[in-house]
Chain A
Amino acid sequence: MVKKSRLLQGLMVLGVAMAFLVGATAADCAPKKDKDKIVIGQAISLSGPLAGGVAISGGKIYELWVEEVNKNGGIYVAEYGKKLPVELKRYDDKSDIGTMSNLIEKLIVEDKVDFIFPPWGTAWLFAAAPICNKYGYILIGGPGGAGKLKELSLPYFFQVLNFSETQAPVLASIFKEVGVKSVAVIYRADLHGIEFGKSLIPDFKKKGIKVKMNKSYPDGIKDVSPMLKEAKSLGVDALVVACYPPGGMLFTAQAMELDINFNAFFLTVLPFSPPLFKGTFGKAIEGVMGGGAWNAKTSPGAKELVEKFKAKFGEEPDYWGGLYYWASLQHFQKAIEKAGTLDQKKIRDIMATQKFETALGPFWYDKDRFFVNHPGEIGQWQKDVFEVIDPGVKRTAPPEYPKPNWPKKAK
């Protein structure tokens, strides 16, 4: 009796497995319908540790762009002789790399989407780029990225965000200009932190600025006061922290709490986010510098983006990547229209070589397919505006130095 039932059990398992496999195959052979829309797939973290980051930077820009495109009837593709509306098909990768890479392959081979939008975060981009490249799908990098991605040299991957290699020299020039003599550099022990923490040192040395402290901190740290006190005791003019939002919040809150002031206070990944940074600390953020950067004064297109974003989401956009992603999508749309087809390779070739006018001005990629014409590198909060303080034409306001002390708490 037992034996017979186990044979049955086994056959049942076999049946279920076959049904699942054949069913999936049948889905594969479904006939192609006439094009009535462009479907763009995205596996992004709607839940898990990264979900907060998706909400404050990047995630919403894609939604806004899709809405904008559809308001105008869609993207005109000559091959079909009509405008095609865009549909964003999103899956939740639970902030898990394995899930994300599976879902991207699902979007490509099973859902047969027309294009892929990027996942969120540097490591996720790293995993997604080779997959998209393997299938010949264009991947325009959104939030995340690192110089290391150049090493993979993938023809279908485009990097949109700026990071240490362009921000560090500008920060050093600003420090030189305002008269910073010495700095303390603290960085998070991960890809972003290390790249930033290490690339700053030579730039500061070149400008004759002394690096008196250079320390890393582990992710998930809960108390940074020893590092703040050490930096203060060394008497440095500027504190530079390469961090992610949680770490940045900690450094800011504890520096305020202990009333430790520096003449310049710079955090990489946090000040750009009005809801998070301004929403938490209010007026106290006056003079804090951060990675970025752009604002409504950068260009007419930038002003328009701020207004549209505010109207849809009721908050200010992210002043680091927001305009970059937005412009990269406009560049992408123009490349599709110029190609007149949805063929990835033709569009890729146009994207890699041609300049188009976008919200931030002319937009193009260099030979490594890295976006070059950033609207700004370093921002500073001045009177409720995240001003671009780069030397040269991108500057929207001169740097405020020394930074005013943290406001005294009402006792």
Chain B
Amino acid sequence: MTSARYIDGKSLVVWLLVMAAMALAPHYASRYAIILLSTILMYVVLSVSWAMFSGPTKYISLAPAAFFGAGIYSAAVLGSSLPLLVVILIGGAVSFCLAVLVGALTLRLRGIYFVMFTFGLVELLMHFLLWFELNINDTTGRVVPSIDNSTVYYLMLAVFSLLMVTVYALQGSKFGMALKGVGENEEAAAHIGVNVTVLKITVFGLSAFFMGLAGAIMATKWTYIDPKIAFNPVVSFMPVLMAIFGGLGRPYGPIIGAAIFSYLGEFLITKFPYYYMLIFGVILVVAILYMPGGLVGMAQDIRKYFLRRQHADS
């Protein structure tokens, strides 16, 4: 099983091929495919960065909307006063600091308490910003200068690549092992000398950093940002659903889950605008009931089944 956690030559080749195909996409794909891919990449980034922390540690965080929103709002405040890349990095940094602060306060909580608090954070930030904007700045919304679609796409792709490198580096390192240890048995991990608090807070911050980057990039697509738009609770549930849909604890799970999930959403909403929710709901229920390992888990089960058949034949 450990071999699946390290990247080997063949996987690397496949990765490079996929990345090359994606990097060249604006040259051969339709304009709308690029817009769609940016959105899919956004969800992939959110899901993978969510799974990076919540997968191994089993701390279910519902704060993605808060970190995503912090990135969006940083971009909205800075607007056009700084170069784009700087704005995006600041968006990530703000989310990182927020996560470290919140993590230091709350990562002692376990189970449902942690879930509730992280979700409460989304509302807290939204209302604080509403109050602040209204009473201190006399405004509610801000206008963000928009950038063109292919720039948004390349930025998202860059964030995604950076994220994947981080995820693999983490998995292959002793920190990754320690993080898994936290998920298996936190006391035991602490006893064998892992500094669990620092570890948890750092990785929590790291995952928030990527969510913040994604938020800052997306802000440029929406033009008008107010706290209610920036902190949309749905964004907290999506990465969780997508990661589970794809399969948690498996390297490609969150990526495949998010990609298929968001493409499916797009496909259904345009083909069946009036029944979209119904169809989507049924798919979700079926997936949760019959595919405990997610899509990737199911694929592996099918493969095992065929392998067994082959062995039985020989």
Contacts and interface: CB of A to CB of B under 8 A. Distances in A.
A194 B139 contact: yes
A400 interface: no
Interface stretch (B24-32, B110-118, B167-175, B197-205): B24-32
B274 A46 contact: yes
A126 interface: yes
Interface residues of A, number: 55
B83 interface: no
Identify the 8 closest CB pairs spanning chains A and B, nearest first: A10-B14, A126-B224, A24-B33, A110-B32, A21-B29, A28-B30, A24-B30, A109-B31
A20 B8 CA distance: 27
B299 interface: yes
Contacts of B140: 189-191, 194
A24 B274 contact: no
Contacts of B15: 10
A17 B273 contact: no
Contacts of A5: 303
A6 interface: yes
A219 interface: yes
Given A7-B11, A14-B14, A21-B25, A191 B30 contact: no
A123 interface: yes
B143 A126 contact: yes
A47 B221 contact: no
A159 to B, nearest CB: 14
Contacts of A91: 269-270, 273
Contact of B222 (A47, A101, A110): A101
Interface in B14-59: 14-15, 17-18, 21-22, 25, 28-33, 35-36, 39
Contacts of B141: 123, 126, 148, 191
Contacts of B146: 130, 134
A196 to B, nearest CB: 12
Interface stretch (A92-100, A230-238, A249-257, A345-353): A92-100
B3 interface: yes
Given A9-B252, A189-B134, A99 B222 contact: no
Interface string A257-269: 0000000000000
Given A25-B29, A105-B32, A216-B134, A92 B269 contact: yes
Contact of A190 (B3, B22, B228): B228
Contacts of A1: 307
Contacts of A4: 10
Nearest to A187: B134
B273 A90 contact: yes
Contacts of A110: 30-32
B99 interface: no
A152 B143 contact: yes
B226 interface: yes
B4 interface: yes
Contacts of A354: none
Chain B interface residue number, banded = 35 or more
Given A3-B8, A25-B30, A97-B229, 7 more contacts: A13-B256, A91-B270, A91-B273, A92-B269, A102-B35, A105-B35, A218-B131
Contacts of A7: 10-11, 13-14
Interface of B: 3-4, 8, 10-11, 13-15, 17-18, 21-22, 25, 28-33, 35-36, 39, 127, 130-131, 134, 138-141, 143, 146, 149, 218, 221-224, 226, 228-229, 232, 234, 252, 256, 263, 266, 269-270, 273-274, 276-277, 299, 303, 307
A27 B270 CA distance: 15
A2 interface: yes
A198 interface: yes
Given A24-B29, A24-B30, A151 B273 contact: no
Contacts of B139: 194
A96 B39 CA distance: 13
A189 B29 contact: no
A98 B222 contact: yes
A14 B21 contact: yes
A305 to B, nearest CB: 27
Contacts of B252: 9, 13
Contact of B223 (A11, A47, A126, A198): A126
A219 B228 contact: yes
A151 B143 contact: yes
Given A190-B140, A191-B141, A99 B234 contact: no
A97 B232 CA distance: 10
Interface in A113-162: 123, 126-127, 129-130, 134, 148, 151-152
A397 to B, nearest CB: 35
7 contacts: A6-B10, A10-B10, A13-B256, A17-B21, A25-B28, A92-B274, A109-B32
Nearest to A13: B18
